[in-house]
Amino acid sequence: MGYLDKKMRELEAYAPELTKRSDFDAFWEETLGASRNVPLEPERTEIDYPIRSANLYDIAYKGMDGTRVHGWFIVPAGGGSKPVPCLIHYHGFTGSRGEPAGFMHWVMMGFAVLSVDCRDQGGQTGNNTAYTHGFLSNVASKGVHNKHEYYYRYAYTDALRAIDFACAQPEVDGERIIIEGGSQGGGLGMAVVALDGRPKAALVDVPSNSNLAARVEGNHGAFGAVADYLKRHPEQTDLVMDNLSYFDTMNMADRIACPVLASVALKDETCPPQMYFATYNRIRGEKEIVLYPFNGHEGGGGRQTEVKLRYLAKHFGHWFA
């Protein structure tokens, strides 16, 4: 057996016990209902851009708590009146909607692109939620004492409402939505396709937000902030671990119906590969994963972008015929 085959077999055997609580589905039904009851109030302003084969818009829409979520919406120019597929991008931790130039390969392929901020991170998007408790180190510990207040409850619904924004645009065919992101963005992507049936595929790299109790125990990446919080508040350990379970993608994986293309890096200590396999191994539908044996959290970089382009051409090329 080859080196990679052996590593894959080890990872495919990784199956930590689920932490899913009995009211998990009811919690998300309530949360999604609350989000749907808030008007989207979308805005878009066209921005002059030097690449004439793309039309660029500065956009915003309202989150569940009224926070204005900012992003970029990019449309291939000269496509006529026929709606096009849309790729929705979610960024990594502390990032932002990014720079439009970074999405032009998708536009050249024929996709409209929507890239949105995660609230309270490196972009233009703030956070209107009033928290009733302090936090430590970063937003991954914000509101962790209360699942209804927790930061990722709002980040997940912001990400879901990006689909609503995309589907409301006249240039977009809402039946042809692709989700894409890395690290935190990969975790958001997994949550989105678990909670919403509209996307037709998810492309996720070095994904976060899986096997969260182990992430906290190992002080891995952003969720080390939760460990820092529990150093100050050890009496809340059971409560906090219970709350995290509602946002753990391994507890949602059985809901994922669309195809998934994933990648992990075996030297990744921020989002260790086995953590994501706790989710990946529970996806029941079509799935593929690429291993980068000697890469860290940077993942496959440009090489993985090539993999994603070829995957889309193979499985969805008929969209552009």
Active site residues: 183, 268, 297
Helix and strand numbers, DSSP H then E, in the chain: 10, 9
Structure tokens at 178: 């692709």
* Terminal-residue alpha carbon distance, the chain: 41
Contact assessment for residue 61 and residue 43, using Cβ atoms and an 8 Å cutoff: yes
Is the Cβ–Cβ distance between 59 and 44 less than 8 Å? yes
Q: Which two tokens stand for residue 145?
A: 């004492």
Whether 130 contacts 120, CB under 8 Å? no
What are phi and psi for residue 6, nearest 5 degrees? -65, -45
Taking every pair of Cα atoms in the chain, the longest distance, rounded to a whole number of angstroms, is: 60
Which DSSP symbol is given to 270? Answer: S
Contacts of 313 (CB under 8 A, 6+ apart): 109
DSSP helix/strand/coil, 5: helix
What values do phi and psi take at 44, rounded to 5?
A: -150, 140
Spatial distance between the Cα atoms of 201 and 197, rounded to a whole number of angstroms: 10
Q: Which tokens is 89 given?
A: 């991008």
Sign of the Cα pseudo-torsion (229, 234, 240, 244, in order): positive
Joined tokens for residue 26 = 């009811």
User: What is the spatial distance between Cα 206 and Cα 223, in angstroms, rounded to a whole number?
Assistant: 15
Q: Which amino acid is at 303?
A: R
